[in-house]
Amino acid sequence: MGPEQLADRYREFQEYVGWTEDDAARVLAIAPLARAQIPALVDDFYEEIERHPNARKVITGGQAQIERLKGTLARWVEELLSGTYDAEYVARRWWVGWRHVEIGLDQAYTNVALSRLRSGLVRAVSQAWQGDAAACELSIRSLNKLLDLDLAIIEDAYQAEYAQRLQRNERLATLGQIAGGVAHELRNPLNVVKTSVYYLLNARNLTPEKKLEHLERIERQVELADKVIQSLSSFARMPIPNLVPFDASALIHETLASAPPPESVSVSIRFDPEFPETLGDPGQLQIVFSNLIRNACDAMPDGGRLEIAGRYEGDCVRIALTDSGVGIPSELLPKILEPLFSTKARGLGLGLAIARSILEKNEGSLQVESIPGTGSTFTVRLKAVTVSEPAR
Amino acid sequence: MIPAGTHRILVVDDDPDICLNLNDILTDRGYQVDVAHNGSSALELVRATPYDVALLDLRMPGMNGLELYREIKKLRAGTVAILVSAYAQGDTTEQALAAGAWRVLSKPLDPAELDRLLCTALDQPHVLVVDDDRDLCANLWELLRERGYRVGMAYDARTATIQIRACRFHVVLIDMKIPNGTGQDVYRAVRHANPEARTLLITGNQCEMAGLVEQVLADGADGVCYKPFDLDELLGKLDRLARARDA
């Protein structure tokens, strides 16, 4: 958060607790009473930390560090009593929270430590107060508001840092997954290339036919490796779809023709007679259907039935692909649309993730139902071109 | 009789190209190579042929390389397994080694290193343990593998005889009292099929089997160890017999 945003946020909190210039004036008025006790409060603060191993462990620099920290804390209390609560003040408060999470202090300890400091300040002011008790009460209330505001900003910093840390960890985990998937998918072709090269260099009996065979094999595997990179980068930046009306049934037939399922899989296609034109990017949607058909066939290694049914529902169309394959265990259902998740021996685990991502960009959706041992249904929903709303 | 010097290697990988390559490379090095693209066809080959070494891809559709090796070990404990992995995750390597695989290599394979490893593996003396006590066999398998032997196992006289005819063992450990025959039958099978092989009798019952043991020793068996074993003695005798073939 930038200093401006922080200051805005602090002002919002001030409004929330009803902080006014009067509060600032009251704190300033009691400042001399509290200031006398700062060294004692600071000492008490660090003595208490010494008694709590979980708090103590974040101080790794020994006595010298404690002395420095005492100086910082004394300045922090001085600023608290300064009567000036500007953007710079807020930024320094925020930094305190940030620093504490950075050194690994459990957030609860900032709360209880501040509570202890608060008690000390209140005690110091009450004992030294020379006037009427009601006025004392008011001043202490102002001091409490100020401390609560400090605490709110510190907690904000804690949350921001935690969110960042979480994101960093997630990024690292994703990177690990990608590395694993890519390693596997690239090392297989590399394995072929390397062994072919070895053969070409070392074979005792290299015939021209063998030489050609190995060179062609190297070329084929290099192309396979390149496809891995292609599919990763096309997933990373799928272009914005060009939504046009198209014939979904014809697209399915084309997709099946360009990559026919094995003969052991019987395919039936049923579209409602009144099935309308569909709105979407046919080029991208062909990737979706080809991924879904390939998945269905992979789920039926010993053959089976693939039923593709198109239905018209109000302003959208529903195309369901039902296979009679192995099905998906219910505990895996939430994961299978995630990128880099795969149950197969080969592949990056991007097929369904790409399908979902394309459908979302085409203003559609993908839904999965499955009964292990019976089969799965992947349902694609897309916008229909209705009579009242002609093609865009 | 089994021809000397031809070693049989099984290559299993779901990628046909890598199988073709390993076939070319290993055939060129003088090995006899068979190839399978999945676990079940690999097991069919293993049932028919005792392979010296199996080179198994870890990640395959259906049965993976480690599951396949566990099955191979049940059928042919003497087959040395080298598993090949594109990306060994977590404790895959440890699991494979714990299951008895000899090495786990990563892709891309270094064929020169593979060649060296195959030489090392094939240079290990090949021992057949014939005993109907499966626990004892399992223990001896681990113990002897650790000491650099290839170890086959047979739990009765008939399968022992089949194995002795199919494989050139260097030393055969023979329990005298076994199902489907006796230790003497096994000893005779060794003499007949593979006269160069050394034999060590292992017997638990000194009195009952004494006559038979004496007879087989008189026929030319190289020694006897009595159960419960003094392991140092057993290993010492085995080492001497295994080395004797090199001399």
Confidence of residue A249 (pLDDT cuts 50, 70, 90): very high
pLDDT in tens, A89-136: 999 989 888 888 788 888 888 899 999 999 999 999 999 988 888 888
Confidence of residue B5 (pLDDT cuts 50, 70, 90): low
Distance of alpha carbon B132 from alpha carbon A57, whole angstroms = 61
CB contact under 8 A, A180 and B61: no
Nearest-by-Cβ selection for B14 from A192, A193, A345: A345
CB contact under 8 A, A221 and B17: yes
What does the block give as tokens for A216? 């062609």
Helices A208-236 and A351-361: crossing angle in degrees, nearest 10, is 40
Contacts of B25 in chain A (CB under 8 A): 195, 198-199, 202-203
Chain B residue with Cα closest to A176: B89
Residue A251 reports pLDDT greater than 70: yes
Average pLDDT on B6-11 reads 95
| Better-scored residue on pLDDT, B148 or B229 | B148
Q: Return mean pLDDT, chain A.
A: 90
B148-178: burial string, b at 16+ Cβ within 10 Å, e else? ebbbbbbbbbbebbebbeebbbbbbbbbbeb
The answer to whether the beta carbons of residues B39 and B62 sit under 8 Å apart is: yes
Residue B1 reports pLDDT greater than 50: no
- B52 CB neighbour count, 10 Å cutoff: 23
Average pLDDT on B176-200 reads 94
| Better-scored residue on pLDDT, B26 or A106 | B26
Chain A interface test: which of B11, B87, B116 (most A C-beta within 10 Å) = B87
Q: Which residue has the tokens 């690239």?
A: A186
A199-203, B86-90, B232-236: least confidently modelled range: B86-90
Chain B residue with Cα closest to A215: B21
Contacts of A301 in chain B (CB under 8 A): 61-62
Query: Whole-model pTM?
Result: 0.69
Q: What integer pLDDT is reported at residue A96 of this predicted model?
A: 84
Confidence of residue B235 (pLDDT cuts 50, 70, 90): very high
Phi–psi pair at B224, nearest 5 degrees: -140, 140
Nearest-by-Cβ selection for B28 from A187, A204, A213: A204
Helix, strand, coil percent values for chain B (each to nearest 5): 45, 20, 30
pLDDT in tens, A296-306: 999 999 999 99
What does the block give as tokens for A52? 């709590």
Distance of alpha carbon A77 from alpha carbon A116, whole angstroms = 13
**ipTM of the modeled complex:** 0.78
Largest CA distance in chain B: 60
A70-74, B170-174, B206-210: least confidently modelled range: B206-210
